[in-house]
Structure 1
Amino acid sequence: MGTQDRLGLHTGPRTATIALLGLGLTLAACSGERDTTAAPPAKAAEERTAWVDGDRIRAANETPGEWLSHGRTYDEQRHSPLDQINTDNVDQLGLAWHFKLDVDRGTEATPIVVDGVMYTTGPYSIVYALNPVTGELLWKFDPGIDRSIAGRACCGVVNRGVAPWKGKIYLGAFDGRLIAIDAKTGEQVWATQTVDTTKNYTITGAPRIIDGKVIIGNGGAELGVRGYVSAYDAETGEQLWRWYTVPGDPNKPAENAAMEAAQKTWFGDVYYKQGGGGTVWDSMAYDPELDLLYIGTGNGSPWNIKYRSEGKGDNLYLSSIVALKPDTGEYVWHYQTTPGDTWDYTATQHIVLADMEIDGDTRPVLMQAPKNGFFYVLDRATGELISAENFVPINWASGIDMETGRPIKTGLADYSDTPKLVVPSPYGAHNWQPMSYNPDTGLVYIPAQITGHLFEDEGKVPAHALNLWNVGLLPMKIPEDPAALQAVGQQFSGKLLAWDPVKQEAAWAVDYASPWNGGTLTTAGNLVFQGTADGRVTAYSADAGELLWESPANTGVIAAPMTYEIDGEQYVTFMAGWGGTFALVAAGAAEDIVRRQSESRVLTFKLGGKATLPPPKNDPITLPNPPALTANAEQIEAGRQLYHGLCAGCHGAAAISSGLVPDLRYMSDDTHAMFNQIVAGARADRGMPSFVHLLPVEQMALLHQYLIKRSHDLVALHDSREAE
């Protein structure tokens, strides 16, 4: 099992820049806030700023005080050898400094620290270069993302970070550009457009760089695109190769043998007309010895295989781990975690490489805990499945057939004829938030979650005029009664899960009231660091899961922390900022737990730190005075369908916002008066896209009436609680 022929086909299972360096300025006005208790500035960076190459990344453990690539090392273990901060003294951690980002939205980056400078990103792909000892802004690069295209993203205007290489910082911008920035000055060196801007492509992931090739994918499967991953020359921005993840038009020649093989697993014509999906929007890892690049691929477009592929076929290479040659993009092997995916069970989640002893032999393995709920251990040389077990409760499959490598489906998730409550939901048993691996404990630390979703067939090929998301499903009927909504929210929960990948069982777990907690970092100090949805940053003992330290963050924390050392002092940094798809769409169902405004900051801690955060934002909300409701029940239901097809992805299910974007139940008189103009694009420059091409005026009226009804519901709820 797990063999491959020489074609590499798997035959078994499976610009606005503020340049402030060296000016010695006090930058309170630029940073938004400045901590005057911070330590003295770090030593000046070496003359060759951010001069990172492959040799330096491969030797990262020789300079453990730096964080040179997205997962610190090519194997993406997110484990630091630093141990100055450890189980004995972590309770002495205090805030060293904090830096306010420009936009308060989802913050997902892992900072880079190299040659005495921290490089990180915030919403709308803004890049910041900071002094890692003081938090002082050195320069800022704003790529000038057109706010009107915010609606192209399924999951917020987020960015997961940059990559350094030979004096430049590389950014995958939200609008699809790959940009090279001078690491010293923050000035743009070159920019290359990597996507067709007439389609709903975006970039939110961090680039990886291998031997001078900048590797980047993109997102957009929910809105109808064809996935691919590409390599660009780091010096010039020239495209060197591109590997598509799903086949294109079958009436045209396939790009390569891998696409010819994939074509046999797709049916009909909807998939290639609507893109097919399979976007490579996040995870990658690299093995220098095998010279293999590993990518994770996403869901189909549409989600529902009934319409995407006539209800049949594995649909390669959706929801797959794929090994490619980084020099050429040549396919080597694949393993498909969810053949024929119809639930948005992407395999874009964090991929971790390690060498571990299994059955008495040391094996080179690849580990992934994708959305579908199984923890996979593969031989990373061949793609052979070594083991797989579910790490949270699931109902769509009972296990993995070790002979075929395929899931054993239960039928409980087949919604082709009747609606089904499926676990996990599209939020996944584990989403993009990175996990980490500690070679000392042998455990993987997963930000796991338990969620369910009621899937219901839409009854036709999805029409963009009725459903912006290209999924082939009816909007989930989120209850609008407060008690019923609370009951739904109670079905959502999260865990910090320490998983033994050899025994395929939990070593320990910490339960959280909400999903959507932060990625993890583990260190040689026997620690696991994680931020939480309820607004804390925490540290646990890596061997036993004992909570040893926590500190407030003023907002939900979803990014993975990182650590570095300068002048003999260790620091731990969290990027704080509530956001992402769960926060936008579903947090209203658990609003007592996670409904909050975002405050996007860099938070850096050290032993004995004395800085303090300002009080959290607590803007008062005035009860609305909605206009009269004039629609009948049938019209309100039509408006509800329109809202959940077009608006819930940002403004929240059942019109309950998580606080990241306006809660439309609280619209002012002026907003009600301007409703049609706003829907048509009057506030596009603020990130509210135009829907004039999707909604005729009569449908705008139905949508408006549904929101007026939800506003009246809110007032009635307030009055009933006051009467109690």
Structure 2
Amino acid sequence: MPANKNGNTLSTPHSRQPRFTPALLALSCALSFPALAQAAPAAPAAVDFDRLVAADREPGNWMSHGRTYGEQRYSPLKRINEKNVAKLGLAWTYKLDVDRGVEATPIVVDGVMYTTGAKSIVYALDARSGKQLWKFDPEVPGPRLSEGCCDVVNRGVAVWQGKVYVGAYDGRLIALDAASGRKLWETDTVIDHDRSYTITGAPRIVKGKVLIGNGGAEYGVRGYISAYDADSGKLAWRFYTVPGNPAEPAENKAMEMARATWSGDEYWKQGGGGTVWDSMAYDPELDLLYIGTGNASWWNRKLRSQGKGDNLFVSSIVALRPDSGDYVWHYQVTPGDMWDFTATQHIILADLDIAGEKRKVLMQAPKNGFFYVLDRTTGKLLSAEKFAPVNWATHIDLASGRPVFDEKAANYLDEPKLVMPAFIGAHNWQPMSFNPATGLVYIPMQETANLLSATGTPERIAHKSVVNLGIDVPDLPEDPKVVKDIAASFKGRLLAWDPVKQKAAWSQEYRTIYNGGTLSTGGNLVFQGTADGRVTAYAADSGKLLWESPANTGVMAGPVTYEVDGEQYVTFMAGWGGTFPLILGPLSQRAKVRPEARVLTYKLNGKAKLPAPQNQPQALPRLQQLTLTDEAALAHSRGIFNGFCGSCHGLNAVSGGVIPDLRYLDDEKHAQFQSIVLGGLRATKGMPPFAGTLSLDQVEGIRQYLIKRSHDLQKELEASAAAGSPAKASKTASASGAR
């Protein structure tokens, strides 16, 4: 096979043969016998390949994750436009069952909305009224809920020929009857149940195959994407993204190529990473499936691969044949990744005029802060520029397609370094959108940084719900004033980016990072929800704010728009959660929201009312006596808490409001503390037992640290009251996670 300039193997694209498809046959019948066509009601979710390929002919529907296979998240609908968007009002709202992170993109087909909430629960709603048609709960076992890095979220479903497909958090792929929600089949996608594999991403369906990846790189898994027969659930093919045991034969030539880029024998024991946990796109003309892969495991490159090699295919865009899973080409955005710079962020396909030539391109703005434009036929890099503050690389060399690393600024293997962007990225999973009319891409951009240093020796932790990365991230200070300053340095923006000129057209700054995905429309509009609890609309060409409305909670998911009976609607999935408010709880409090999971749907002159937010102040319970007063011992217990508990309950025991704030433990919870932490008393609710991992003395040390932090909080509240702060003390606070 020929190769491109980066040495990436190529294959000749299959040309699509013209054929008289069932869709064309149906259209012919409708034209010849219109009365007959009107008499035949559409079956639920009657979506097939031809209908998805021709999605632009049905702008009123949103039939796949990005609306079209190219994932542009652009809708031609324009009944709602820049001139009348100020008249948007709430049409209906639907309360989801679990108040955790909501990240789903709804699918809307022929007047029915299919969407998901936390814990992979699936909902079918009347798209006109929000009335529930059915609900399916996959009943993910409680102990499995703790085995993911970033909340029990789900990004949505796929539909195909009367079925709805969802990836459950515990790794099952499930097919449901679109009319009733009845389970038709399920299959286990997990290859090793001793590892913490999860599914949070939305499936895609191409030519009768359901495509799904997995998460878990932080916990030490081997990444892959699988294809299953949409009718039976039978495995059709699987493509691994990193090599396995070097003592065994490689699965294919792609894995032989990848194996040569890894060193030592530690990587495969740790799993390697490279998980396909979110983005995919498909080009029907080229018959190419594009996937984005995640970070390596461990992050520390010296530990995982002796500090050598590109470590394919981590942090890469890979093109595959959807019929077979055969490798075609790849482009690695961060060779040898050691900063958690995943390439799982949203992939968009478009045709752009570049240097006077129409090019079929693929665009991505991954975590690492560079905006990439590739030729999607060959994988050749066309351009790449920084869209956010970056110091790990000076630039991307166009001749080689490789980044030029800044060793002095970002190589933390020998000494700590302040790296930009942080592990949360310059752009995370929240989808961006592309508007063909303006030629702009709308990115939920963020400015972030973190201090990294390397651990000296490999360390494996047997507990599946504890992350080991081979790095040290310094603890956040406990001083609330310092934390406030750090939080203010994390800046969120809506960035309108010109992919041809590779520069910003306009931007809007937000209170904090982790704002929602975007939608652009033919009405010259960009819609986005925000971390601080709003839904908004901007002029797509100028960035002028035209409309906003309260959401009562943080909004992270990408909105959609659709049309039913001549009425255009815009839907936001609202609900706070995910990486930012869990791990970085002290920083995320700047958003000043709590989790409240809802579907919010708007139309012109809508008159529905949004219920008042549930943010009543929570009283501090009677404080326990602190018996551990040795500062060194408390600091040691703080390190244990942050290492084992902070990824959910927040660093320094400051919750972001999604998981209970442990500073608010009452007498009963203190009495049950050992039973909860060691005995699994709350395992069914997702709190894993740590018996065999933590000792009795360590658990008591954690409890004492939490008592200390409760006393710290009381002092903060009293100081706020004395200063006349609106946050009146009387030992209360808006501790939304304390429940």
TM-score (normalizing by structure 2) = 0.92
d(CA) in 1 for partners of 2:529, 2:380: 34
2:75 is matched with which residue? 80
Contact 2:394 2:406 survives alignment (8 Å): yes
Contact 1:150 1:157 survives alignment (8 Å): yes
1:329 is matched with which residue? 325
d(CA) in 2 for partners of 1:581, 1:694: 24
Question: In structure 2, the residue corresponding to 1:339 is in which secondary structure?
Answer: coil
CA deviation string 1:381-433 (max 9, x = no partner): 00000000000111111110111111111121111122111110011000000
d(CA) in 2 for partners of 1:553, 1:722: 29
**Out of 151, 155, 172, which is 1:160 matched to?**
155
Contact 1:258 1:331 survives alignment (8 Å): yes
Are positions 1:439 and 2:436 aligned together?
yes
1:693: Cα distance to partner?
Answer: 3.2
1:89 corresponds to which letter in structure 2? Answer: N
Are positions 1:142 and 2:141 aligned together?
no
1:700: Cα distance to partner?
Answer: 1.1
Are positions 1:708 and 2:704 aligned together?
no
**Out of 557, 561, 564, which is 2:562 matched to?**
564
d(CA) in 1 for partners of 2:369, 2:63: 30
574-583 vs 594-603, which moves further: 594-603
d(CA) in 1 for partners of 2:11, 2:80: 47
**1:500-539 aligned within 5 A:** 500-539=498-537
1:689 corresponds to which letter in structure 2? Answer: P
1:460 corresponds to which letter in structure 2? Answer: T
1:682 corresponds to which letter in structure 2? Answer: L
d(CA) in 2 for partners of 1:583, 1:9: 44
1:394 is matched with which residue? 390
1:688 is matched with which residue? 687
1:596: Cα distance to partner?
Answer: 2.7
d(CA) in 1 for partners of 2:8, 2:416: 44
d(CA) in 1 for partners of 2:641, 2:282: 42
1:38 is matched with which residue? none
d(CA) in 2 for partners of 1:101, 1:693: 36
**Out of 654, 657, 679, which is 1:656 matched to?**
654
CA deviation string 1:145-167 (max 9, x = no partner): 11221111100000000000000
d(CA) in 2 for partners of 1:463, 1:702: 22
1:29 is matched with which residue? none
1:722: Cα distance to partner?
Answer: 3.4
1:45: Cα distance to partner?
Answer: 10
**Out of 603, 620, 630, which is 1:623 matched to?**
620
**1:276-675 aligned within 5 A:** 276-411=272-407, 412-464=409-461, 468-591=466-589, 593-631=590-628, 632-675=630-673
1:40 is matched with which residue? none
Contact 2:6 2:401 survives alignment (8 Å): no
Identity of aligned residues (%): 61
Inter-CA distance 257–465: structure 2 relative to 1 (3 Å threshold) = closer
Q: Which runs of 5+ in 2 are unaligned?
A: 13-37, 724-739
701-710 vs 360-369, which moves further: 701-710
Contact 1:588 1:595 survives alignment (8 Å): no
2:123 corresponds to which letter in structure 1? Answer: Y
654-663 vs 79-88, which moves further: 654-663
Contact 2:519 2:558 survives alignment (8 Å): yes
Are positions 1:171 and 2:170 aligned together?
no
Contact 1:45 1:116 survives alignment (8 Å): no
1:620: Cα distance to partner?
Answer: 2.5
Inter-CA distance 163–44: structure 2 relative to 1 (3 Å threshold) = farther
Contact 2:531 2:554 survives alignment (8 Å): yes
Contact 1:371 1:428 survives alignment (8 Å): yes
CA deviation string 1:48-90 (max 9, x = no partner): 2111111001111111100000000000000001000000000
1:60 is matched with which residue? 55
**Out of 168, 188, 197, which is 1:193 matched to?**
188
1:628: Cα distance to partner?
Answer: 2.3
d(CA) in 2 for partners of 1:506, 1:157: 34
d(CA) in 1 for partners of 2:6, 2:503: 30
401-410 vs 363-372, which moves further: 401-410
d(CA) in 2 for partners of 1:45, 1:197: 47
d(CA) in 2 for partners of 1:45, 1:269: 61
2:57 corresponds to which letter in structure 1? Answer: E
Contact 1:623 1:666 survives alignment (8 Å): yes
1:657: Cα distance to partner?
Answer: 0.4
Contact 2:176 2:182 survives alignment (8 Å): yes
d(CA) in 2 for partners of 1:533, 1:44: 46
d(CA) in 2 for partners of 1:191, 1:142: 13
d(CA) in 2 for partners of 1:449, 1:613: 29
d(CA) in 2 for partners of 1:105, 1:157: 7
1:629: Cα distance to partner?
Answer: 2.2
d(CA) in 2 for partners of 1:623, 1:698: 26
1:121 corresponds to which letter in structure 2? Answer: T
Question: In structure 2, the residue corresponding to 1:139 is in which secondary structure?
Answer: strand
Question: In structure 1, the residue corresponding to 2:338 is in which secondary structure?
Answer: coil
**1:141-290 aligned within 5 A:** 141-195=136-190, 196-290=192-286
Contact 2:6 2:380 survives alignment (8 Å): no
Question: In structure 2, the residue corresponding to 1:711 is in which secondary structure?
Answer: helix
CA deviation string 1:326-357 (max 9, x = no partner): 00000000000000000000000000000010
Question: In structure 1, the residue corresponding to 2:418 is in which secondary structure?
Answer: strand
Question: In structure 2, the residue corresponding to 1:490 is in which secondary structure?
Answer: helix
Inter-CA distance 710–363: structure 2 relative to 1 (3 Å threshold) = same
Contact 1:425 1:451 survives alignment (8 Å): yes
480-489 vs 77-86, which moves further: 480-489
1:2 is matched with which residue? 4
1:624: Cα distance to partner?
Answer: 3.8
1:719: Cα distance to partner?
Answer: 2.7
CA deviation string 1:97-119 (max 9, x = no partner): 00000000000001011022100
d(CA) in 1 for partners of 2:270, 2:138: 29
1:47: Cα distance to partner?
Answer: 4.2
d(CA) in 2 for partners of 1:274, 1:68: 38
d(CA) in 2 for partners of 1:314, 1:478: 32
**Out of 111, 116, 125, which is 2:120 matched to?**
125
2:41 is matched with which residue? 46
Q: Which runs of 5+ in 1 are unaligned?
A: 11-42
d(CA) in 2 for partners of 1:616, 1:576: 12
d(CA) in 2 for partners of 1:238, 1:215: 12
Contact 2:451 2:473 survives alignment (8 Å): no
Question: In structure 2, the residue corresponding to 1:456 is in which secondary structure?
Answer: strand
Are positions 1:115 and 2:113 aligned together?
no
1:286 corresponds to which letter in structure 2? Answer: Y
1:150 corresponds to which letter in structure 2? Answer: L
2:475 corresponds to which letter in structure 1? Answer: K
Contact 1:45 1:117 survives alignment (8 Å): no
RMSD (CA atoms): 1.7
Question: In structure 2, the residue corresponding to 1:682 is in which secondary structure?
Answer: coil
1:169 corresponds to which letter in structure 2? Answer: V
Contact 1:527 1:539 survives alignment (8 Å): yes
2:731 is matched with which residue? none
CA deviation string 1:617-660 (max 9, x = no partner): 02321124332223322221221111111111111112110111
Contact 2:581 2:588 survives alignment (8 Å): no
616-625 vs 377-386, which moves further: 616-625
2:29 is matched with which residue? none
Inter-CA distance 5–535: structure 2 relative to 1 (3 Å threshold) = closer
Contact 2:586 2:656 survives alignment (8 Å): yes
1:676: Cα distance to partner?
Answer: 1.0
